[in-house]
Amino acid sequence: MSDLASVKVVVYGLVQGVFFRDFTSRKAGELGVSGYVRNLPGDRAVEVRAEGERARLEKLISHLRTGPPRAVVEKVDVSWSEYHGDYADFNIRYSSNQ
């Protein structure tokens, strides 16, 4: 059986307005993980919630620590939790109410 997990990642820095959500969505798709990415209120943080095989999630987190070319990642908070199968695919959320 594979090692399934869920993770919440909050990335701080110059991460809004630099295609960070699109970058994250593409990387998640390549890795086959599900969940979402969204901007948090203000202009200095992006939240990622993802589920899948732990090794694939760790690769996603590694990409998030760098981000796309114009991003400046200052801090990354990672919180692991149990896998629940809450997401069918990975998508970009455009408001905090989704």
Active site (catalytic) residues: 21, 39
CB-based contacts of 78: which residues, under 8 Å, 6+ apart? 7, 8, 9, 61
**Amino acid letter for position 66:** T
DSSP state of 16: S
Query: 98: how many CB neighbours lie within 10 A of its CB?
Result: 9
DSSP secondary structure letters along 25-36: HHHHHHHT-EEE
What is the bridge-based pairing of β-strands 72-81 and 45-53?
Answer: unpaired
